[in-house]
Amino acid sequence: MSPRLRWRKFVSGFMLAMTGVCALVAVSVLFFILGYLVYHGGTSINWSFFTKLPTPVGETGGGMANAIVGSAKLLLAASLLGVPIGFLGAIYLAEFSGSKVAFVVRYAADLLNGVPSIVIGIFAYSLVVLPFKHFSTLAGGFALGLMMVPITLRSTEEFLLAVPRALREAAMALGASKWKTIVTVIVPAAYRGILTAVLLAFARVAGETAPLLFTAFGNRYWSPGWNQPTASLPVMIFTYAVAPYEDWHRQAWAAGLVLLGLILVINIVARAILARGIAVPRA
Amino acid sequence: MHASVRPAVSLNITPSQTGAIGREPIAALPMRMNISELNFFYGPKQVLFDIGMGVAASKVTALIGPSGCGKSTLLRTLNRMHETVRNARLKGEILLDGQSILAQDVTQLRRRVGMVFQRPNPFPKSIFENVAYGLRINGSKLPISEAVEKSLRHAALWDEVKDHLQKSAYELSGGQQQRLCIARALAVEPEVLLLDEPCSALDPISTAKIEELLVQLKDLCTIVTVTHNMQQAARISDFTAFLLTGQLIEFSPTPQLFTTPGDARTEAYITGRFG
């Protein structure tokens, strides 16, 4: 083997190993976080964590039932606001708008995506909390929903544009109007990507804390309806993690584990839904 | 004959008059479509010049010519698919059964003038739903499963797929997919079927099947097909139009165009001197 060839084989082997190591690092971060959460919070997870309210300071035990329900309500409100706006906006961008309008909207969406979440929180505070004069689930959902709009919009648009032109033409050549083509062919062909995008947006805002500090605030008790301050898992984690009590720290870890677990479950369910139906093969 | 020397055709032309566009054998036939003084532009660029020709009912008309001659563009004007392209502009008249297609509702027109594309483009749906699509979106009152079976039989695909109609259309071979697309187009019972190089992505055996099919389909509808394969045009068509750089150079009965072409450029093309 000539030295030149040996050198090339070495470089090839080294680079291959590096790509593998980097892929491993990317995956292991998730497993490291999961393991860390289980190690610190696993012991605090029991039935009462899911069913009981937080206990007063000094008393051990209790749970975060109100925060789990609160987070679910906040995310429901956020999705009801953010997903339709992002989705329909993306349809307008991908199918109807001229290139100049699309450029402006895309640019604005990217900027909105880059706005720090705490600024979104202040915005929601002045727009929803101040006029109603109190914190509420709706205000928190509004803030999180705003954050979902640009992520949903941009990625939905990408997936709509990726639907092959041949499919649009096939539908239109059969006498489908533009709307029918969109509803019966383009969106069904792109729905896997769209659902993935929505899930990403959902997971992203599920862990947001800053926008909720000014909007949903927090609550030691149940929050009936939509118009009261509410507890949420991220804010609970924040509050409990910075408190000086050992028991609260363990509960904060447990809350982190529950939050991650819930997102994981939603992801797995969505993947199972995605696995059904017929995908457009790559060209 | 040259498009440029063709006598001007009035816009309120009737099918019986338009036979004069072709030669004697065409003159005797009823026309399904008539194209007159058709000019077509993509932005500032003109790609079709003063095209005039008829499409005889229940016959196969082939459009041939070298790449970029405008044959696909001409085909796509016949069901106004050109309107899906920005900056496309059309001047002239195209009649379907004596009525201007430009004045019609475009979705209605495309129901009557179906289209099959160069590459098979089935929807990401089952075989059954692909064929049923046109019926569903047009709110057809026909019993759908019977119509699907009928169309698949017409497209000579029924025997191959009857036992797995619920399978993905993408599980079929390329040739089967193209016949599925033909079945899908036939399901809405179009009067005219346009095919844009339907065999160019297929192997010779699949191509032979589709050619055979097109000849049989003449009884069902009028066929216009684009091809850059001259042998194919000779095998399957009754009339052939030869286009070159956006001009209609010659339009004749197929045997005549291939044996005694009336224009030196046609002869040069069909004998393989260019293109």
Q: Strand pairing partners for B192?
A: B113, B222
Question: Is A110 within 8 Å of chain B by CB?
Answer: no
* Residues on chain B touching A188 (C-beta within 8 angstroms): 124-125
Query: Does A28 contact chain B (CB < 8 Å)?
Result: no
Q: Which residue has the tokens 């479509």?
A: B33
Give the Cα-Cα-Cα angle A59, A63, A66 (nearest 5 degrees): 125
From B110, which residue of chain A is nearest by alpha-carbon distance? A175
Q: Which pairs from A59-64 meet CB under 8 Å and 24+ separation?
A: A60/A247, A62/A251, A64/A231, A64/A233, A64/A236, A64/A251, A64/A254, A64/A255, A64/A258
Could you tell me if B103 and B69 are in contact, meaning their C-beta atoms sit under 8 angstroms apart? Answer: no
Residue ranges covered by each domain of chain B: 3-122+189-270
What is the model's pLDDT at position B208?
93
Of A172, A174, A188, nearest to B84 by CB-CB distance is: A172
Q: Are B268 and B249 in contact (CB under 8 A)?
A: no
- Answer CATH for B3-122+189-270 from 3.40.50.150, 3.30.110.30, 3.40.50.300, 3.30.1700.10: 3.40.50.300
Buried b (16+ CB within 10 A) or exposed e, A229-261: bbbbbbbbbbbbeeeeeebbbbbbbbbbbbbbe
Nearest by CB to residue B84, choosing from A169, A175, A177, is A169
Residue A283's pLDDT band (boundaries 50, 70, 90)?
low
User: CA–CA separation, B138 vs B140, rounded Å?
Assistant: 5
Give residue for tokens 């007159």.
B36
Starting at the edge strand that comes first in sequence, how are the strands of the sheet with B239-244 ordered?
B99-100, B88-96, B31-42, B45-56, B247-253, B239-244, B60-64, B222-226, B192-196, B113-116
Q: Which residues of B touch A180 (CB under 8 A)?
A: 137
What pLDDT does residue B11 have?
35
Beta bridge partners of B54: B34
Q: Which range is least confidently modeled, A265-269, A277-281, B151-155?
A: A277-281
Residues 6+ apart with CB under 8 A from B143: none
Max avg pLDDT among A30-34, A39-43, B109-113, B228-232: B109-113
CA distance A209 to A176: 46
Tell me how far apart the alpha carbons of residues B201 and B241 are, in angstroms, rounded to a whole number.
22
CA dihedral A19, A20, A24, A27 (to 10 degrees): 70
User: Which residues fall within 8 angstroms of residue A9, CB to CB, at 6 or more apart?
Assistant: A1
For chain A, which domains are there? 66-229 (1.10.3720.10)
Hey, which of A46-50, A60-64, B140-144 has the most confident mean pLDDT?
Answer: A46-50
- C-beta neighbour count of A18 within 10 angstroms: 10
B39, B92 contact by CB (below 8 A): yes
Q: Write the single-letter amino acid at A236.
A: M
- Burial class of B134 by CB neighbour count within 10 A (0 to 12, 13 to 18, 19+): buried
Nearest-Å Rg of the Cα atoms of chain A is 23
Q: What is the pTM of this model?
A: 0.83
Question: What tens digit of pLDDT does each residue of A112-133 get?
Answer: 999 999 999 999 999 999 999 9
Q: Residue with structure tokens 């046609």?
A: B266
The whole-angstrom distance between B122's CA and the closest CA on chain A is: 7
Residue in chain B lying closest to A280 (CA)? B124
Residues of B within 8 A of A175 (CB-CB) are 107-111, 134, 137-138, 188
Q: Do B117 and A166 touch (CB under 8 A)?
A: yes
Residue B210 token pair: 């589709």
Would you say A54 and A235 are in contact if contact means Cβ atoms under 8 Å apart? no
* Residue A168 in contact with partner chain B when CB distance is under 8 A: yes
Cα separation, A246 vs A235, whole angstroms: 18
Task: Give strand pairing partners of B49.
Answer: B247
**Does residue A173 belong to the interface with chain B, where contact is any CB pair within 8 Å?**
yes
- Quickly list DSSP for chain A: --HHHHHHHHHHHHHHHHHHHHHHHHHHHHHHHHHHHHHHHGGG-SHHHHHSPBPPTT---B--HHHHHHHHHHHHHHHHHHHHHHHHHHHIIIIIS-HHHHHHHHHHHHHHHHS-HHHHHHHHIIIIIHHHTS--HHHHHHHHHHHHHHHHHHHHHHHHHTS-HHHHHHHHHTT--HHHHIIIIIHHHHHHHHHHHHHHHHHHHHT--HHHHTTT---SS---SSSS----HHHHHHHHHHSS-HHHHHHHHHHHHHHHHHHHHHHHHHHHHHHSS-PPPP-
HEC assignment per residue over chain B: CCHHHCCCCCCCCCCCHHHHHCCHHHHCCCEEEEEEEEEEEECCEEEEEEEEEEEECCCEEEEECCCCCCHHHHHHHCCCHHHHCCCEEEEEEEEECCEECCCCCHHHHHHHEEEECCCCCCCCCEHHHHHHHHHHHCCCCCCHHHHHHHHHHHCCCHHHHHHHCCCEHHHCCHHHHHHHHHHHHHCCCCCEEEEECCCCCCCHHHHHHHHHHHHHHCCCCEEEEECCCHHHHHHHCCEEEEEECCEEEEEEEHHHHHHCCCCHHHHHHHCCCCC
Q: In the predicted model, is pLDDT for residue A231 greater than 60? A: yes
* The pLDDT of residue A166: 93
Mean pLDDT (chain A, rounded): 92
pLDDT tens digits, chain B, 275 residues: what are they?
A: 444 444 333 333 333 333 334 444 676 789 999 999 999 999 999 999 999 999 999 999 999 999 999 999 999 999 999 998 889 999 999 999 999 999 999 999 999 999 999 999 999 999 999 999 999 998 877 789 999 999 999 999 999 999 999 999 999 999 999 999 999 999 999 999 999 999 998 899 999 999 999 999 999 999 999 998 899 999 999 999 999 999 999 999 999 999 999 999 999 999 988 87
Of A167, A173, A280, nearest to B114 by CB-CB distance is A173
Contact A277/B at CB under 8 A: yes
Contact residues on chain B for A170, CB-CB shorter than 8 A: 117, 121-123, 181, 184
A160 band by pLDDT with thresholds 50, 70 and 90 = very high
Write the ipTM. Answer: 0.84
Among the partner-chain residues A174, A177, A280, the one whose CB lies closest to the CB of B133 is A174
CB atoms within 10 A of CB A15: 10
